[in-house]
Amino acid sequence: ATSRLLVNYQEPYRSQILDYLFKPNFGASLHILKVEIGGDAQSTDGTEPSHMHYENDENYFRGYEWWLMKEAKKRNPQIKLIGLPWAFPGWIGKGENWPYDYPDVTAYYIVSWILGAKQYHGLDIDYIGIWNERAFSSKYIKLLRYTMDKHGLEQVRIIASDRLWEPISFVMLIDSELHGVVDVIGAHYPGTKTVKNALLTGKKLWSSEDYSTFNDDTGAGCWARILNQNYVNGNMTSTIAWNLVASYYEELPFGRCALMTAQEPWSGHYKVESPVWITAHTTQFTQPGWSYLQVDGHLGGGGSFVALTDGLGNLTIIIETMTHNHSKCIRPPLPNFSVVPQRATFYLTGSFYMVETLQVWYSRLDFEYGNSILFQKLHPVKVWKGRFSLDLNVDEVYTLTTLKTGRKCRFLEPPPPQPFPSNYKDDFNIRNPPFSEAPNFADQTGVFEYFVNASDPGDHVFTLRQVVVQRPITWVSDADQTISVIGNFKWVNMTVTCDIYIEKPRDGGVFIAGRVDNGGIYVRRAKGVFFWVFADGTYRVTGDLAGQEVLMKGLSGVRDNAWHTLTLNIQGNSASGLLNGYPLWENVTISKPKNGWAALGTRSFEFAQFDNFHVE
């Protein structure tokens, strides 16, 4: 759920961000885009909607991944696409929190997504994964291959198991049928190392999720080091960064652990961070289909190099000399090593002996004064009788290449940063919304979608509706309540007003909230000030999403299937609540949290509607 805020950037800024990421020979020039197959459940920084909320439901226009894949393909038709589920809608497990009891159902669900990508968006998915960082089932993987082949999807390759090298490698060695259907072994955060069994399979080895590090110059150092050393130490020929762009509220888990930052659609501000230019050192001078040359890429004084060719005479060499303390990734822990300034001499033989000059691109990460040089074109290097030498300092990246197509492109500076508007309204009155979700609302459990109320007399035809009515097969511990957060995490005093409509009789309920202090994988422990009303005519004020810490309760007269207006006012260490404009409770003492987002949600996985949201 990391691209959540990207979609509601205004033009031209949205297209500029996408150009920096995907346009060839422009910025990051990415080769591969991996997206979540939304499963209606929390997947780190929010929930992404499924294409099948319910068994008899199919919709290939929810969420933002279809749009993102199309934008990537528009800029680079050659980009490879991967889909991977983190979670699944509850109906797939028929009540169990497990996707493999009915493997034919799960395979049908995933194949529907691949077919929908093609039918509705003209997108060819290249690779499909199994279940992110969770168990795999050999039976399911074989059935998935069979189901794809049956639907004419022979060209879609399977990557497994998006966790560790084992047990998938060992199982493939003893199960020849499984070995036959898995095309790529993908491991997460491998620390540039692989294992013997993985090599013995003879399969392509990928670091199918890596990086995940704050996108300052140390993050850039991490990224430069692993982009090379995943191959040099671990024989991995693809490295995929989580995540593409930090377009989620920064106070959610792993804030700014992305290649660039675009978390302010309300201002248009974004920042092309140094990892973008480190990426370019590799991506602008190689392509999928190029081959790594099998040389020992360890440099004598520390650091590494890789060499790649297109097999048609082109050669690209990428060198990195990142020091230990300037290239630590978020995980795994990095053993000590030393890097010193050195002179490196390269010998080109065979078909490369005839190369006379190499173009040079250079970066130096400056941790002393902050004057980093990023992706600068230097004078070409002359190759004399197949040899050339370079004086390498520490924390540098060089690309030497026969290609002359590299470019460092720039747009004019985007607008300056601004906090989230302190007075924000949304009446959800939009007839043909470009996206299924209202701007800036970041769903953390459940899914909130634009809804058209055909039967309403007029005031509430267009609303926001929570639509997940069965607990999904979760990836982490989603809350037992649904919740979507919005606004500025630093907010202290606020008034939140919203029209609400409980659809579930008897035990249904909804809330509005302020000072909400947690989301993402920690959503279950969210604290704040929560104002609840229930279908049985009662209300509650609690200090937590779970509803354990009751600050006030009583009768409200609210009923289901009727519209009511809730207002929550938080000032200093006191809160009060209004129902339909009249005071319902007041002077409730609030000790903590001191600040946080505004939010709305439901008591359980139940239908409910919201309208005329306003926070000040």
133 has catalytic annotation: yes
Phi, psi of 26 (to 5 degrees): -130, -60
The encoded tokens of residue 419 equal: 């906090």
Report how far apart, in Å, the C-alpha atoms of 477 and of each of 93, 242, 548 are.
16, 21, 17
Contact 592, 505 (CB under 8 A): no
Q: Which residues pair with 204 in a beta bridge?
A: 184
- Active-site position among 36, 48, 71, 209: 209
d(CA 255, CA 262): 11
d(CA 545, CA 531): 10
Taking each helix axis from N to C terminus, what angle separates 217-232 and 274-283, rounded to the nearest 10 degrees? 30
Report how far apart, in Å, the C-alpha atoms of 295 and of each of 95, 231, 299, 358, 392 are.
52, 10, 11, 19, 19
The encoded tokens of residue 551 equal: 């600050």
Give the helix, strand, coil percentages of the chain, each rounded to 5: 20, 35, 50
Contact 462, 452 (CB under 8 A): yes
503 has catalytic annotation: no
- Active-site position among 58, 133, 251, 503: 133
Q: Which amino acid is at 594?
A: K
The three-state secondary structure class of 59 is coil
d(CA 137, CA 347): 47
Q: Which amino acid is at 295?
A: V
Q: Which residues are part of the catalytic machinery?
A: 133, 209
